[in-house]
Amino acid sequence: METAVSVEALGRRCICVSCDVNEAADIETTIESTRAAFGSFQILVNNAGVASLGAPEETTDEEWSAVIDTNLTSVFRFSRSAYPTLAEAGGKIINIGSMLSIFGLAFAPAYAASKGGIVQLTKALATAWAKDNIQVNAVLPGWIDTELTRQARAQIDGLHERVEARTPAGHWGHPDDHAGIAVFLAARASDFVTGTAIPVDGGYSVQG
């Protein structure tokens, strides 16, 4: 609701639809509700994410499946469901990956696998749907100060300090740091950009 209030404050119409991204029926309802409310849509942002922290040998099948299904399978399902609408007049899909799309992490194997899969799925969809004038790109957030990373810092001794030491910008990122790249990838200015995975990480990933 907070997002809806912010959007409406800008003079734009907004709807809220409850959706469990692990339920195919909920995804279809969300797509149908959006079409019913607005007639069409041109932008899909896939941003659902959960994490399970722990050593690989301690990760259960249930933990693995929960992360893969939420972080990766839902992206495929939502994109597939949105495809007919986006193909009508062209559109944009923005998938939210992670620095762990690039790096491994000993204490988050399922999360790393899901976010690595985001990059490859982005490339596959970009290649398949370029003919329909659909651009598909991924944003790879670095170490961002969120509720999820606060939990990681509470569990992993020294994580906060190690991230700051490695990041050339010298600090953790803020969610608003992604606004510019999201606007670009959603705009006509990026019509010839597709299949890319763009880090937003204060330089973290350029450190070898």
> What value does the mean pLDDT take over residues 80-103?
96
- Domain shared by 79 and 148, yes or no: yes
Percent of all residues in the chain with a pLDDT value above 90, rounded to a whole number: 79
Query: Smallest Cα–Cα separation from 152: which of 48, 21, 50, 22?
Result: 50
The one-character DSSP state at 144 is B
What local confidence, expressed as pLDDT, does residue 186 receive? 98
What local confidence, expressed as pLDDT, does residue 53 receive? 85
> What value does the mean pLDDT take over residues 126-138?
98
CATH number at residue 64: 3.40.50.720
Residue 111 annotated among the catalytic residues of the structure: yes
- Domain shared by 35 and 82, yes or no: no
Residue 150 has pLDDT above 80, yes or no: yes
Buried b (16+ CB within 10 A) or exposed e, 27-64: beebbeebeeeeeeeeebebebbbbbbeeeeebeeebb
Range of the domain at 22: 1-39
- Name residue 94's beta-bridge partners: 45, 137
Annotated catalytic residue within 111, 143, 172, 204: 111
Decide if 153 contacts 107 (C-beta within 8 A).
no
- pLDDT class of 191 with cuts at 50, 70, 90: very high
- Domain shared by 71 and 159, yes or no: yes
Quick: pLDDT tens for 70-88: 999 999 999 999 999 999 9
- Domain shared by 134 and 63, yes or no: yes
What local confidence, expressed as pLDDT, does residue 7 receive? 85
Residue 93: Cβ-neighbour burial (10 angstroms; 0-12, 13-18, 19+): buried
- Domain shared by 81 and 136, yes or no: yes
Planar angle of CA 68, 142, 124, nearest 5 degrees: 50
How many domains, in total, are found in the chain?
A: 2
> What value does the mean pLDDT take over residues 181-195?
97
- Domain shared by 7 and 57, yes or no: no
Residue 208 has pLDDT above 70, yes or no: no
- Domain shared by 104 and 89, yes or no: yes
- Domain shared by 8 and 27, yes or no: yes
Q: Tell which wins on pLDDT, 105 or 61.
A: 61
- Domain shared by 19 and 55, yes or no: no
Query: Smallest Cα–Cα separation from 92: which of 48, 132, 124?
Result: 132
- Domain shared by 115 and 129, yes or no: yes
